[in-house]
A and B are shown apart, each in its own frame.
Chain A
Amino acid sequence: MAKKILVIEDDKFLRKVIKRKFLGEGYDLIEAIDGEKGIIAARDEQPDIILLDLVLPEINGFEVLTRLKKDPQTSKIPIIILSNLGEEENVKKGLELGAADYLIKANLDPSEIFERVENILKK
């Protein structure tokens, strides 16, 4: 069965590239353009993994992460932060809040992101 990935990302171009990459790799992909929609999608769709942006309209990624980790329905789903906020404070905060990995968009290629997702799913 195909693995299901939820991408919470407000930038449509980035979303488009990620979508193309993961569909090409045989994944099922759900998109959410803000935090609120992301939380609903996570609950309803029960994805295998979530790619979460931090700078989002309305509620930010840290809050989305906190809420998903608190909710027993979604707390087990591994979440990878995929953001361009690169400060160490942010990385530390994300990992402390329970993110499985923290990826900085500009420093990675799509295939590297894909590899990191696969790595988490293998665990």
Chain B
Amino acid sequence: MVIEKQKKDKISILLNDLDSLQSYINDIFTFAPLPLCFIGPSGVILEANPAFIKFCGFTFDEIIGKAIEDFFKKKEIEKIIKETKKKGSVEGKETDFFSRTEKEIPCQVFARPRKDESNNILGYFLSIVDLTEIKRNQREARAALINILEDIQEERDKAEEEKNKTLAIVTNFADGILVFDKTNSLLLINPKAEQFLEVKAEDIVLKPILKLSKISSLASLVKILRKKTKEVSREELEAKENLILEVSILPVLRGKEKIGSLVILHDVTREKLIEKMKSEFVSLAAHQLRTPLSTIKWIMRMILDEELGIINKEQREFLEDGYESNERMIYLINDLLNVTRIEEGRFLYELTPTDIKEIIESTIDSFKSEAKRRKIKIEFRKPKEKIVKIILDSGKIKIALNNLIDNAVRYNVSKGRVIITLRQIGKEIEVSIKDSGMGIPKNQQSRVFTKFFRGVNVMRTDTGGSGLGLYIAKNIIEAHGGKIWFDSELNKGTTFYFKLPIKNKKIIWQKKY
């Protein structure tokens, strides 16, 4: 009896447990966020949880009794059921779900059979995982990845194209190009540079500059390169016979750091030849013009000096006018020659330490007779102490002084004054030439140092000047690293000043070729 009771109690407990389990499963079934359903062996839906109902878009009543194949492609769901039967389960088979409103919702299907005690299949549990979100994320991620890859490819293509373009430009450039790295190893040489220097790229690329200097055609270029590599510079190089190159060296900078240098070789042979021909032409033309002028000068001077007989006052007057006109012509030719040489950049010649006081004195001396004739007093105010010698081209400084004093005398009033002052101010020598002449009109002052400038007031009274004197003077002073300027008041006079540095670092030497 007792045993019977014990058995009964146990069964009752077990039944109780079974009830709890049943309701627990029911709860899971009901509240699980995953769409779940139970279908009979023939594929008819017998049970569905709220998540499934929501997912397929029908009501509970509509669903119960509906064939599961209405929600899938027939073949696919048949395959899933068959596989479940055979293998005991299907885990996450990917397929498409057809809801009431949407077709082909991507999903994963999990399936398990439900069996009775004798292993007969009572039906199947199906759970469905909506893959829409995941698929979309995957799609987006893939699209993003593809975009990134495409962008990278595009950038790479662009870079490649740019590189090819740059290379094509460098290769076909009419000038020679060489690129050196920071350590002065040659990185690149284009065909034109190879041709100019008679070298082959493969023999010299990646070689340090020192090794390059051993190649004879490169030696003189290397010399230029080693001299200055810090800033942009330009130099002429006679690479071989009949080939003059202008070598430009430019630093290649990244930010402020120098990462290499770029060398450009430009063929200036033709320009140089033309320049030389022009210079020879001017020099020859000047010679040819001077010869007859010399004859006229000499003959008139001998007549004026009465070496060929006595002349009367009127004859002398006319001859003197003729002599003076001839002299102007000679000066004009000298001026034109000087201007040509200034423009060729080979003007300064011999630079020697010179006492500028002596140059001023001798220049003043050469104006003695002219000043006397025009009744002009020239005064030289020089410092008592000795002035240091400065390095200059004395011939050229004399030309500059001559032009300035000539203007002061020529464009002065009768009985006027010219005061020349020499001073040392700090590290500079200053010379001023002050006249009591007609002055330069205000509206013309900015053009005073330009070529062929002549003041309008001057042209009325004197037709002799070439308009080149001040242009030449300015070029001479500036070539010595000096400065020239003036102040002027109409009908009161003009003062020209120039300054020359005592220690002259900025001298522009004549170009040699």
Interface residues of A (CB under 8 A from B): 11, 13-14, 17-18, 20-21, 24, 55, 83-88, 92, 105-107, 109-111
Residues of B within 8 A of A110 (CB): 298, 301-302, 307
A31 to chain B, nearest CB (A): 15
Given contacts A13-B299, A14-B291, A20-B308, 8 further A-B contacts (CB under 8 A): A17-B299, A18-B298, A24-B307, A85-B287, A88-B395, A106-B333, A107-B330, A110-B307
Measured CB to CB, the nearest residue on chain B to A111 is: B305
Given known pairs A14-B298, A88-B395, the reply for A105 and B291 (CB within 8 Å) is: yes
Q: B334–A86 contact, CB under 8 A?
A: yes
Q: Give the A-B contact count at a CB cut-off of 8 A.
A: 60
Subset of 27 A-B contacts with CB under 8 Å: A13-B292, A13-B295, A14-B294, A17-B295, A17-B298, A20-B308, A21-B298, A21-B302, A55-B287, A84-B286, A84-B287, A84-B290, A85-B283, A86-B286, A86-B334, A86-B337, A87-B283, A87-B337, A88-B349, A88-B350, A92-B350, A105-B290, A106-B297, A109-B298, A110-B298, A110-B307, A111-B301
Q: A109–B301 contact, CB under 8 A?
A: yes
Report the 7 A-B pairs with minimum CB-CB distance, sorted nearest first. A84-B290, A105-B294, A106-B290, A13-B295, A109-B301, A88-B349, A17-B298
> Bound complex: CA of A106 vs CA of B289, how far in Å?
10
> Bound complex: CA of A13 vs CA of B287, how far in Å?
15
Query: Cβ of B387 < 8 Å from any Cβ of A?
Result: no
Interface residues of B (CB under 8 A from A): 283, 286-287, 290-295, 297-299, 301-302, 305, 307-308, 330, 333-334, 337, 349-350, 395
Secondary structure dominating the interface of A: helix
Measured CB to CB, the nearest residue on chain A to B350 is: A88
Residues of B within 8 A of A86 (CB): 286, 290, 334, 337
Residues of A within 8 A of B297 (CB): 106, 109
Residues of B within 8 A of A13 (CB): 292, 295, 299
Measured CB to CB, the nearest residue on chain B to A15 is: B295
Instruction: Pick from A21, A84, A109, A111: contact of B291, CB below 8 A.
Output: A84
Given known pairs A11-B295, A86-B337, A106-B294, the reply for A20 and B302 (CB within 8 Å) is: yes
Residues of A within 8 A of B287 (CB): 55, 83-85
> Bound complex: CA of A24 vs CA of B309, how far in Å?
12
